[in-house]
Structure 1
Amino acid sequence: MTTKFTARGITAILLPLAGLTGLAGAVQAEEWAPTRSIEFIAPANPGGGWDTLVRTTSRVIQSEGLADQNFAAINVPGGGGAVAWAQIANDSGNPHKLFATSPPIILVPLAGTSRYDHTHFTPIARLITDYSIVLVQADSDYQDLNDLFEAMRERPSMSVGGGSAPGSMDHISIAGVASAAGLEASGVNYIAFSGGGEAMTNLMGGHVEAVITGAGEAAGQLGPESDIRALGVSSPERLGGPLAEIATYQEQGIDYTFDIWRGVMGTPDMPAEAVAYYEDLFARMLETDDWQEARDQLGWIDAYQSSEEFGDFLDAQKEEFSGVLTELGLIR
């Protein structure tokens, strides 16, 4: 049996093939990779949760050879994140700028201290869950959270420091656990510093009685020879690694937990192909040995969400936090 190809038949075959070639070209044209160093911004001073996330992820990406371009960690402190967000908002469409994010991207605008919230930026990926931890000086008389809250009842002016703005993450976290322990949440004398590192410096200098911060950023500073000691952690169960000996709030009879999700966002209107590149990059990073070792040391829990999932999550968080802040009398 023979097959005869006419000119019309050959054309009929070649046209679909040309269409496929054109489609492949379009897909290839949509592929994107950074052409210069990525500015990876921590919207606070060194030593806090954003800074820890930025520097840890940048180091793992480099050590694992996941990207051809360098991720340059940059600290832009001020306003509980508001100073950095204002700068980033003015760089619309830049695919070479990212920033670390967590609940303050929602809480600070709700409290009225930033005109920019999560809706002004491009969600890239949620990466991990961290938890709050309450710290005191190593020689403090307070042995657990109940001791601390009893002292706060007797001396309402007693100060508790944190690395986020008034009405933001650390404030709402300590106000929430104090309320669960029977205190007036709005009466907690919260002192805001420009990051967890500065808050701990003030704790060690005796300028505040206690500090609430992220467990991950405190993990490396705790130990038998440390100048600070932990009274409790906001996780539902004990964490691993260097935080394994720290009792949860619930173990101390205080029915309260607080999650600190952390992730990455980009500039407004970041091109979709750049978003796809970073989504894939961070997903691959979470699978590496270097990341898993660092994550376990910091007491973090992987909680990856894609750009779309993260965006939906942020919208839901805004609704939830609006109610909580109103309840606690912290919303303006």
Structure 2
Amino acid sequence: MTLSIASKKSPLKTLALLGLSCTLVAGALTSTASAQEWKPSKPVEFIAPANPGGGWDTLVRTSANVISQEGLSDQNFAAINIPGGGGAVAWAQVARDNRNDHKLFATSPPIILVPLAGTSRFNHNDFQPIARLSTDYAIVLVRADSPYQTVTELFDAIKANQRLSVGGGSAAGSMDHIAIAGAAGEYGVNPGSVNYIAFSGGGEAMTTLLGGHVEAVISGAGEAVGLLEGGQLRALAVSSEERIPGSLSSVPTFKEQGVDYTFDIWRGVMGPKDMPEAAVRYYEDLFERMMETDSWKDAVARLGWLDAHQNSEDFGRFLDGQLEQFSSVLSDMGMLR
């Protein structure tokens, strides 16, 4: 005999099951509606984990301005600078506030590199990916009166004098250090011999360069546009595959100068790890809409960035891939902790 579990049901049991089904459907619809209806109820803290003037700061202020200009949010996105530790000070603060749905921060390769180098106990898995926004490139800068006319002349000088210093706005073993050491290594300079000086953001690094305290600086290309246009600095090389159109089109690539090297600086937005799902979806949608505006497209063109949008889920997978890639790079440099 074969018994069917779905044989005969009493009318009362059928009504009960129907009632349960309706309750579950209603609950799902309510949950979806609440996710769609969530929006900030007060100003959003938008953190740049460095001093003003660097890549994180530029991303935060540019995004906040576009959101305001385009009326994309009823609330203000307040740019806040929290420098220190190549990002580690800001990350510690965000991690302590792990359920805050009114706090975001700009991110880029240091969220992977700094923990790998052992200078932060928080890594990308301690935060919630929101969206990847753009790709920038590394650029090597010198003062307008510098004797170095090409990046190979700079590398030859580093070979001859290992005390010659190159500044950057990220911690030792982090993004700027990796970028200049990798390029120098491709040219034939021992990457470990590059005298890299870390500053609390690209703005401080360029101020120090203008003051004559370092011979060169490596930073994100977008950070340098203003000073290059003002004639205070000169660019020796950019790490893109081809020249960057627009205001940086006169800057030669490393490849043009015989150094087979490229380096991408992606930038995006993250939040506290336990941010409610409804808030994640709101911000994810907000930044996607922001990137479709003419204001954002104009800013990207001016800064020499490229759009590189990824939603929250795709950005999370990308970060995991970056961890694997940068672990190998730091191991080669003898800096993996």
TM-score under structure 1 length normalisation: 0.93
Conservation of the 8 A alpha-carbon contact between 1:101 and 1:265: yes
How many equivalent pairs are there? 321
8 Å Cα contact 1:41-1:76 kept in structure 2:
yes
**Contact 2:40–2:102 at 8 Å: present in 1 too?**
yes
Q: Show the counterpart of 2:236.
A: 231
Task: Identify the residue that residue 48 of structure 1 maps to in structure 2.
Answer: 54
Who is 1:279 aligned against? Answer: 284
Q: Residue 4 of structure 2 aligns with which residue?
A: none
User: Does the 8 Å CA contact 1:215/1:233 hold for their aligned counterparts?
Assistant: yes
Q: 1:165 to 1:19 in 2, by over 3 A?
A: closer
Contact 1:46 1:75 in 2 (8 A): yes
* 1:58 maps to 2:64: yes
- Displacement of 1:93 in angstroms is 1.0
Distance 1:30 1:205, change over 3 A: same
**Of the candidates 318, 324, 327, which is equivalent to residue 329 of structure 2?**
324
1:186 matched to 2:192? The reply is yes
Deviation of 1:34 after TM superposition, in Å, equals 0.6
Correspondence 1:104 to 2:110 = yes
The one-character-per-residue Cα deviations of 1:194-238 (angstroms, maximum 9, x if unpaired) are: 000000000000000000000011112212x41100000000011
- Correspondence 1:76 to 2:82: yes
Equivalent position amino acid for 1:308 in 2: E
Aligned CA distance change for structure 1 residues 329 and 20 (closer, same or farther; 3 Å): closer
Q: 1:22: Cα distance to partner?
A: 5.4
State whether structure 2 residue 230 is matched by structure 1 residue 214. no
- State the one-letter code of the partner of 1:199: A
**Secondary structure of the equivalent of 1:194?**
coil
1:134 to 129, 135, 140: 140
- Structure 2 CA distance, aligned partners of 1:26 and 1:272? 11
In structure 1, what is the equivalent of residue 12 of structure 2?
none
Partners in 2 of 1:87 and 1:132 — Cα distance?
Answer: 28
| One-letter code aligned to 1:315 | D
Query: How far is the alpha carbon of 1:25 from its aligned partner?
Result: 3.0
Letter aligned with residue 300 of structure 1: W
Mind listing any 5+ residue stretches in structure 1 that lack a counterpart?
Answer: 1-10
Helix, strand or coil for the counterpart of 1:316? Answer: helix
Per the alignment, residue 125 of structure 1 pairs with 131
Q: Is the 8 A contact 2:34 2:278 kept in 1?
A: no
The answer to whether the aligner puts 1:309 opposite 2:306 as a matched pair is: no
List structure 1 runs of 4+ shifted beyond 6 angstroms.
14-19
1:72-121 superposed Cα distances (whole Å, 9 cap, x missing partner):
00000000000000010000111100000000001000000000000000
Q: CA RMSD in A?
A: 1.7
Aligned partners of 1:191 and 1:250: how far apart in 2? 25
Distance 1:180 1:210 in 2: 18
| TM-score calculated relative to the size of structure 2 | 0.92
Unaligned 5+ runs, structure 2: 1-14
Q: Which moved more, 1:19-28 or 1:296-305?
A: 19-28
Contact 2:53–2:223, Cα closer than 8 Å, also in 1: yes
Q: 1: distance between equivalents of 2:129 and 2:63?
A: 17
Instruction: Give 2:30's aligned residue.
Output: 25
For residue 330 of structure 1, report the CA deviation from its aligned partner: 2.4
Deviations 1:227-275 (A, max 9, x none): 1000000000110111011000001100000000000000121111111
